[in-house]
Structure 1
Amino acid sequence: MTDRDSQRRFEAEAVPAAINDLHDELDRFWSDLDDVPFEDQMAFTTAVIEAASNVVEHGVPLDRGGVRLGVELSASATRLQARVLEINAAAHPDPLTPATGDPEELESGRGLFLINALVTTVTVERQGNTNVWVLSKESAPRR
Structure 2
Amino acid sequence: MALVNITTENTVITVNGRQIQDWGEAENPCTEEPIDPTSTLRRGMGGNAVRLDRINPGRRVTLNLNPGGPDAAFMQGLLNSNANITYTRTVIGTLENAVGAEGAIVNDGAINRAGGSSISDDVFIMEFNSFTTLRGG
- TM-score scaled by length of structure 2: 0.38
Greater percentage in strand: 2
Greater percentage in helix: 1
Structure ID, larger Rg: 2
